[in-house]
Amino acid sequence: MATTAGTLPAVGAHSGLWSWLTTVDHKRIGALYGVSAMAFFIMGGIEAILIRTQLAVPNGTVLEADRFNQLFTMHALTMIFLGVMPLGAAFFNWFVPLQIGARDVAFPRLNALSYWVFIGGGLLFVSSFIFGGAPNAGWFAYAPLTSERMSPGSGMDFYVVGLLMLGLSSLIAALNFAVTIINMRAPGMTMMRLPVFIWMTLVVAFLLILSLPVLTVALIQLLFDRSFTTHFFSPEEGGNPILWQHLFWVFGHPEVYILILPSFGIISEVLPVFSRKPLFGYAAVVFAGVSIAVLGFAVWSHHMFTTGLGTVPQIVFSASTMAIAVPTGVKIFNWLGTLYGGNIRFTTAMYFAVSVIVLFTIGGVTGVMHATVPVDTQQQDTYFIVAHLHYVLFGGSIMGIFSGVYYWFPKMTGRFLHEGLGKLHFWLFFIGMNLTFFPMHFLGVGGMPRRIYTYDADLGFDTWNMVATIGAYIIAVGMLAFLWNFVRTMRQAPSAPNDPWGGATLEWATSSPPPEHDFDVVPEVHDRDPLWYNRDHGVTTPAAPAHLHIHMPPPSYYPLVLGGALLLMGIGVLSHLAVTALGVVIAIYAVWAWTLEPTD
């Protein structure tokens, strides 16, 4: 594991397990996020395979009802919080400093802390399977099903504590990236010269900063209902189950933009590079991303159209939801405009990027269908929604993330993932996901509800469910192809040049992989697509001086200690409060020592 990211050592001892545990280098932290997230993504995929195996035939007997309910709950939670979000974080970590010409993020130790809290929270979450059962009330955990009375046992307590920890991890990271992007740009890198990937990262950071606190309050109130006899969400004593839904979705809707915007940012980098022309309509793409984020806070009740909101709220949220289709559509057209007139090189990364345009559009138009409230009363809680969400999250987020993986792999490791295997991976994913999720539109239209562990044989659901299961297995084979590609690639020696693709942005102006200090000399920034500008205008980067006086922040074990303390606090809530008290004491010590630690 210590060698997978292949970061070249600079000054001092930087190998071995301890160096990974104490690292504050954004590239290593990115590698930690990436590998962990891929492992969780595979776990989420196995959960999906189990679900699909159960649903392949009517009245299936592979899984019992409660186990199925745990699996679909954990599949969603794993994919969202332990898969897609940390995969995004992996790329933020790796490429935000490089693309803005900084040498690290604003707060390197805080950066490490967000990783340790993430991995602690993630492991706590999945440990629920062996400690009395995983949460089983859906990832959205509607009250009052989640009350102590209706869901006795520790599953929902793991849900609360796990999500609080993961939320804290994401919040810390978001604060760090927001400050970094605003405050640490290289000279000449104005906001309107930022790569679109950086813009999307900044927007995602603000979405997290403003939406996570609302989820935190919802979780705290659920915790209090379950453990301290309050009645925020239980109706018998005056509580309001719909309040949970409002709080959850005020977070939950911005969350889906948090899940898609990094992928939009990635393909906004990949499409221009392999089309060999700039992104079409940069300002519109940036402005559309910001609009999506702002509007994203005004649509949350479209998840609640069937809860009895009333005619006026239904119309208002229907309108705002339709409105958000406009900036999204603009981005699609701008990406198509980027392909137009290009000289396109179809690498694996480009395959994945172009597929996002098509697959996300399918998810986007079915989203507009859901926005038309009366149609939603038929589609809500059916497989039609399952189809929609997987087209945007798999077809959009996952395919975009893999585009980034293939594009940036040489930069991160110095090696190229094999193109043939990569294309095989692509086709298996593309065919597999369409086979899995397109039939779900038919199942939804045919009346198959979602979150059901079985269905009857005489409803016409049999064939499409079997097709969907076969598609899921094809996706799994695709993932095996990717893993095989990864393993055999990492066995090769690094050989990639600084800029194998003819890239436009600053990460391609340093070695592959970069040295610990990222740049010997940060190139000048005169325009967006700085490397293309410099190439076209003959601007050369000055040679590095003979002695580099670059001081990088030293490693520190306090993020690990504080992360461990926070994990103890969480474990204590689930077991004995004495453990929480111990965690608090260690946390106070860790914060104190961290503040006094010299960083020179």
Partner 1 sequence: MSTIDPKSDNTRRVQDLYVLVFWAATIVFVGVMAAALIFSFMYRERPGRTAQQIHGNTRLEIVWTLIPVVILAVIAVPTFDTVIKTTGDAPEGALEVIATGHQWWFEFEYPELGVTTANEMHVPVGRAVNVKLRSVDVIHSFWVPQLTGKTDMVPGHDNRLWFTPEVEGEFRAQCAEFCGTSHANMRFRVFVRSQGDFEAWVANQKKDRVAPTADLAKQGEQVFLTGACVGCHVVRGTAAAARVGPELTHVGERTTIASALLDNTPENMARWLRNPPAAKPGSKMPNLNLTEDQIQKLVAYLESLK
Partner 2 sequence: MAAAGAHGVAHHSTTGIDNRKLLMWIFLASECLFFGSLISTYLIFKGKSLVGPYPDEILDIPVTSISTFVLLMSSLAMVLAVYGAEHGRPRMMKLWLLVTILLGLTFLGFQVYEFRTFGHEGLNLATNQFGASFFVLTGFHGTHVGVGVLILASLLLASFRRSGLGREAGFHVEIAGLYWHFVDIVWIVIFTLVYLIPQ
Instruction: State which of positions 382-441 bind partner 1 (CB under 8 A).
Output: 382
**What 3-state DSSP class applies to 136?**
coil
User: Is 151 assigned a catalytic role?
Assistant: no
DSSP 272-337: HHHHTSPPTTHHHHHHHHHHHHHHGGG-GGGGGGGG---HHHHHHHHHHHHHHHHHHHHHHHHHHH
Evaluate whether 432 touches 478 at the Cβ level (below 8 Å). Answer: yes
Among the listed residues 14, 388, 450, 528, the single catalytic one is 450
Q: Determine if 584 is a binding residue for partner 2 (CB under 8 A).
A: no
Cα 593 to Cα 66: distance, rounded to the nearest angstrom: 46
Contact flag: residue 278 with partner 1 (CB under 8 A): yes
User: Minimum distance from CB of 178 to partner 2 (Å)?
Assistant: 5
Within residues 75-134, the interface with partner 1 by CB under 8 A covers: none
Nearest distance in Å: CB 509, partner 2: 15
- Is residue 495 close enough to count as binding partner 1 by CB under 8 A? no
Question: HSE on the CB side for 182, CA within 13 Å?
Answer: 10
How does DSSP assign 501-566, residue by residue? Answer: T---SGGGGS-SSPPTTS-SSPPP--SSSHHHHHHHTT--PPPPPSS---PPPPP-SHHHHHHHHH
Tokens of 164: 């609080």
Per the residue annotation, which of 22, 73, 114, 169 is the catalytic one?
169
Q: Is 302 annotated in the active site?
A: yes
Which 59-78 positions form the footprint of partner 1 (CB under 8 A)? 64-66, 69
Check if 127 is active-site.
Answer: no
- Tokens read off for 202: 């900044």
Report the length, in residues, of the chain. 600
- In the complex, the smallest distance separating the C-beta of residue 216 from partner 2, rounded to whole angstroms, is 6
Are the C-beta atoms of 12 and 397 separated by less than 8 Å? no
Q: Enumerate the β-bridge partners of residue 434.
A: none
Q: Does 380 bind partner 1 (CB under 8 A)?
A: yes
Are 325 and 371 a contacting pair, CB within 8 Å? yes
CA distance 20 to 118: 15
Q: Is residue 282 a contact residue for partner 1 (CB under 8 A)?
A: yes
Active-site residue identified among 116, 249, 257, 558: 257
> Would you count residue 464 as binding partner 1 (CB under 8 A)?
no
Q: Which member of 42, 123, 184, 332 binds partner 1 (CB under 8 A)?
A: 332
Contact with partner 1 (CB under 8 A) among 222, 373, 568, 569: 373
The token pair that represents 505 in the structure block? 């942005």
Q: Which of 350, 448, 522, 574 binds partner 2 (CB under 8 A)?
A: 522
Q: How far is CA 518 from the centre of its chain?
A: 24
Q: Is 494 in the site for partner 1 (CB under 8 A)?
A: no
Q: Which of 13, 237, 537, 540 binds partner 2 (CB under 8 A)?
A: 237
Interface with partner 1 in residues 158-187 (CB under 8 A): none
Write out the binding residues for partner 2, residues 181-220 only, by CB under 8 A: 182-187, 189, 209-214, 216-218, 220
Active-site positions read 75, 104, 139, 169-170, 253, 255, 257, 268, 302-303, 328, 331, 450
**List of residues contacting partner 2 (CB under 8 A):** 24, 97, 101-108, 171, 175-176, 178-179, 182-187, 189, 209-214, 216-218, 220-221, 224, 228-232, 237-240, 243, 247, 250, 522, 551-553, 588, 592, 595-596, 599-600
